[in-house]
């Protein structure tokens, strides 16, 4: 009798094990379900190696690509949740999010996602969602740039639509006020720690002149620059970012170590050399945020720990699960039925 009871207890524990390792989803969408890292262990065991290989090749060809791929995950999750709606092209009644103000002439790396999807479909047809590919790519892009590693909860499905208005309204903008940015985070179930930690993704990548020009010439619409910006740094920026023209000229978000995922972004902010207004206000507009900037500038391990937890939390925003949505065969368009 004791042996049989022990057997049933063991079976019960094994049945519950996936739930112990799973992540409850959250966010404004109210969709139910769980995500867990082992979702494709049996149906597509090659998944992680395929993605890691393609990302490594892409970054070896273009060092900017790590930041570009990481950014795609952010811009997807903040609109309708993490459902790969960002990948859909115009057509068939869909107005692509790629044409929104935050994305137009800015987001890139779609061809890398295409290459990953093609390789995954060849190995595991009709199995892995584009939304899950986004999530794993974000992790691998961070790691290849020297950043933290984390387990990626999986099990998302792909949307059958996009929302241009959501992309325009829900993605934090570089010239938003601190309170506006925090409000946009809170709408997604994210908090102030998530805001400051995830902003650290700006330790790699570039921004366009048009994204911060107002700081150089007309911060408060009074013809004056932003005096919270180091003026020597501002002078250098003006050389390549004039009052008019040069909108697409690129500048490192972290001029100290632009291709290394580290904590120099926060040190730059403390030196009043955050490039975007949305970077510098982390120091100047909120005491709790200022304290986190100082802590991350001093302790990279703390930043890595918080970033890892926050990006997993972001990746759990309102995904489609179970029988919701679909597994797209081509990430750029919905399946034909």
**Using CA atoms, how far apart are residues 141 and 65, in angstroms rounded to an integer?**
8
**3-state SS class at 94:** strand
- Could you please report the per-residue DSSP string of 136-189? HHHHHHHHHTT-------B--BB-S---HHHHHHHSPPTT--HHHHHHHHHHTT
pLDDT tens for 135-151 read: 999 999 999 999 999 99
- Annotated active-site residue 75? The verdict is yes
Residue 194 has pLDDT above 90, yes or no: yes
Domains and CATH numbers, the chain: 46-205+253-316 (1.10.520.10)
Do the beta carbons of residue 268 and residue 258 sit within 8 Å?
A: no
Mean pLDDT of the 7-12 span? 40
Residue 22 has pLDDT above 90, yes or no: no
Q: Helix 47-61 to helix 130-144 angle, to the nearest 10 degrees?
A: 50
Mean pLDDT of the 145-163 span? 97
Q: Helix 287-298 to helix 192-199 angle, to the nearest 10 degrees?
A: 40
Q: What is the mean pLDDT of the chain?
A: 91
Query: Looking at 36, 73, 75, 306, which residue is catalytic?
Result: 75
Question: Which pTM was predicted?
Answer: 0.89
pLDDT tens for 91-101 read: 989 999 999 99
Burial of residue 279, with CB atoms counted within 10 A of its CB: 0-12 exposed, 13-18 middle, 19 or more buried: buried
Cα 227 from chain centre: 30
For residue 33, name the pLDDT band (cuts at 50, 70, 90): low
Torsion over CA: 76, 109, 41, 329 (sign): positive
- Residues annotated within the binding site are 76, 79, 81, 83, 85, 97, 172, 202-203, 254, 262
Q: Among 30-44, 81-95, 154-168, 172-186, where is mean pLDDT lowest?
A: 30-44
Q: What is residue 318's DSSP assignment?
A: S
């Amino acid at each position: 009798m004791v042996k049989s009871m022990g057997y049933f207890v063991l079976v019960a524990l094994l049945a519950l094990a996936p739930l112990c390792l799973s992540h409850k989803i959250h966010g404004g969408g109210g969709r139910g379900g769980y995500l867990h890292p082992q979702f494709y262990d049996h149906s597509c065991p090659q998944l992680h190696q395929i993605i890691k290989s393609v990302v490594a090749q892409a970054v070896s060809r273009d060092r900017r690509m790590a930041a570009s791929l990481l950014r795609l995950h952010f811009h997807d999750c903040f609109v309708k949740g993490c459902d790969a709606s960002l990948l859909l092209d115009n057509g068939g009644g869909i107005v692509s999010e790629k044409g929104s103000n935050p994305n137009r002439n800015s987001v890139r790396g779609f061809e890398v996602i295409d290459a990953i999807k093609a390789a995954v479909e060849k190995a595991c047809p009709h199995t892995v969602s584009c939304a899950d590919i986004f999530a794993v790519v974000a992790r691998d892009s961070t790691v290849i740039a020297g950043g933290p590693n984390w387990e990626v909860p999986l099990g998302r499905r792909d949307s059958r639509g996009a929302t241009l208005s959501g992309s325009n309204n829900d993605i934090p903008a570089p010239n938003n006020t601190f309170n506006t940015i925090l409000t946009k985070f809170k709408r997604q179930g994210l908090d102030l720690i998530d805001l400051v930690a995830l902003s650290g993704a700006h330790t790699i990548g570039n921004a366009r002149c048009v994204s911060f020009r107002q700081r150089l010439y007309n911060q408060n619409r009074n013809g004056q620059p932003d005096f919270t910006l180091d003026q020597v740094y501002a002078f250098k920026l003006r050389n390549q970012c004039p009052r008019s023209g040069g909108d697409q000229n690129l500048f490192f978000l972290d001029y100290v170590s632009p291709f290394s995922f580290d904590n120099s972004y926060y040190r730059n902010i403390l030196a009043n050399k955050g490039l975007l207004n949305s970077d510098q206000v982390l120091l100047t507009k909120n005491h709790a945020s200022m304290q986190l900037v100082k802590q991350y500038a001093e302790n990279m391990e703390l930043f890595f720990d918080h970033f890892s937890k926050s990006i997993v939390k972001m990746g759990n925003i309102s995904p489609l699960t179970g029988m919701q949505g679909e597994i797209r065969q081509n990430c750029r368009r919905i399946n034909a039925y």
